[in-house]
């Protein structure tokens, strides 16, 4: 089986500083894959490189199409939704406008209306707040909005950058439950970057561990979860 996302020899640079050193990994269609790693390991940079938001070399292929040389907005239009760190919420706009922006590249206006309703089913709190300015939502609500906005694209692949960041544990559980439901029911492949390794490994089917810009370990999520080094370094027991 060929992978949906194929990353080979990926090197990324911030000015003179090299952040990724020949990263290689695959993501299979329908999979929920997680990239684990400490602060500064290169997780965010990997996601940003996929969307061409940082200077990089190497090859990234999505469904057989090379992504290099495409602009961020064209990569998004291929069906890759990216929920960035800090969530990328349009804070001065209403919740509903945020959802419409998620679908801004789509032309099927009737389906957009029904998709917005579907998002309100996934995340009832967004319905209550649909006329409210997105900047006034709580952190957890904003993260739900960010995921919902990404789904409005009807993506084939969703990239999530530390969705648990700054959220209360209960809300994180809730969010991850919804993510796994979306992965199974809506057939959206997910690549999630996390520092909360325990939760990410419970959820994912496949995992990679990044250290200083290189993949140092890969395997099924349960293999990784049972690996002694990973347990010591990332799970803390």
Partner 1 sequence: MELFTNQVLAGIATGAIYACMALAVVMIYQAIDHLNFAQGEMAMFSTFIAWQLMQWGVPYWGAFLLTLAFSFAGGIAIERLLFKPLAKAPILTNVAGFIALYAIINSFAGLIWDFTIKQFPTPFGSSPFLGSQLISTHQAGMIGVTMILLVLLFFFFRFTRIGLAMRAAAAMPESARLVGINTSWMIALGWGMAAAIGSIAGMMIAPVVFLEPNMMLGVLIYGFAAAVLGGLTSPFGAVVGGFLVGIFENLAGTYIPGIGNELKLPIALALIIVVLVVKPAGLFGRPIVKRV
Residues 25 and 218 sit within 8 Å (Cβ to Cβ): yes
The residue among 70 and 118 lying less far from partner 1, judged by its C-beta, is: 70
The residue among 45 and 224 lying less far from partner 1, judged by its C-beta, is: 45
Q: Which residues bind partner 1 (CB under 8 A)?
A: 51, 53, 71-73, 76-77, 81-82, 84, 88-93, 97, 100-102, 104-105, 149, 153
**Closest approach of partner 1 to the CB of residue 79, in Å:** 10
Dihedral Cα 70, 72, 77, 81, nearest 10 deg: 130
**Closest approach of partner 1 to the CB of residue 82, in Å:** 5
**Closest approach of partner 1 to the CB of residue 90, in Å:** 6
Residues 189 and 32 sit within 8 Å (Cβ to Cβ): yes
**Closest approach of partner 1 to the CB of residue 99, in Å:** 10
The residue among 78 and 235 lying less far from partner 1, judged by its C-beta, is: 78
Q: How many Cβ atoms are within 10 Å of 144's Cβ, its own excluded?
A: 26
**Closest approach of partner 1 to the CB of residue 212, in Å:** 26
Residues 32 and 5 sit within 8 Å (Cβ to Cβ): no
Residues 56 and 11 sit within 8 Å (Cβ to Cβ): yes
- DSSP-derived letter for residue 134 is G
The residue among 94 and 198 lying less far from partner 1, judged by its C-beta, is: 94
Q: Pull the structure tokens for residue 221.
A: 């999520």
Give Cβ neighbours of residue 8 (< 8 Å, ≥ 6 apart).
24, 58, 59, 60
The residue among 1 and 92 lying less far from partner 1, judged by its C-beta, is: 92
The residue among 108 and 229 lying less far from partner 1, judged by its C-beta, is: 108
**Closest approach of partner 1 to the CB of residue 66, in Å:** 19
Give Cβ neighbours of residue 207 (< 8 Å, ≥ 6 apart).
33, 34, 35, 36, 200, 201, 218, 219, 220, 221, 224, 225
Q: How far apart are the first and last CA of the chain?
A: 36
């Amino acid at each position: 089986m060929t992978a949906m996302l194929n990353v080979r020899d990926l090197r990324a640079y911030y000015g003179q500083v090299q952040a990724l050193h020949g990263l290689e990994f695959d993501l299979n269609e329908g999979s929920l894959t997680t990239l684990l790693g400490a602060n500064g390991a290169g997780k965010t940079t990997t996601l940003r490189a996929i969307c061409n938001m940082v200077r990089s070399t190497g090859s990234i292929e999505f469904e057989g199409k090379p992504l290099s040389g495409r602009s961020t907005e064209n990569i998004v239009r291929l069906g890759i939704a990216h929920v960035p760190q800090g969530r990328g919420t349009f804070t001065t706009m209403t919740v509903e406008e945020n959802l419409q922006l998620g679908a801004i590249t789509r032309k099927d206006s009737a389906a957009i209306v029904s998709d917005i309703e579907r998002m309100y089913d996934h995340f009832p709190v967004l319905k209550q707040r649909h006329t409210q300015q997105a900047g006034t939502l709580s952190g957890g609500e904003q993260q739900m909005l960010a995921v919902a906005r990404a789904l409005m694209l009807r993506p084939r692949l969703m990239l999530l950058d530390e969705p648990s960041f700054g959220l209360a544990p209960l809300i994180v559980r809730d969010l991850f439950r919804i993510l796994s439901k979306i992965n199974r029911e809506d057939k959206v492949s997910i690549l999630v970057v996390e520092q909360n390794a325990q939760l990410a490994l419970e959820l994912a089917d496949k995992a990679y561990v990044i250290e200083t810009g290189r993949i140092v370990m890969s395997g099924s999520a349960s293999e990784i979860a049972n690996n002694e080094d990973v347990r010591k370094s990332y799970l803390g027991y």
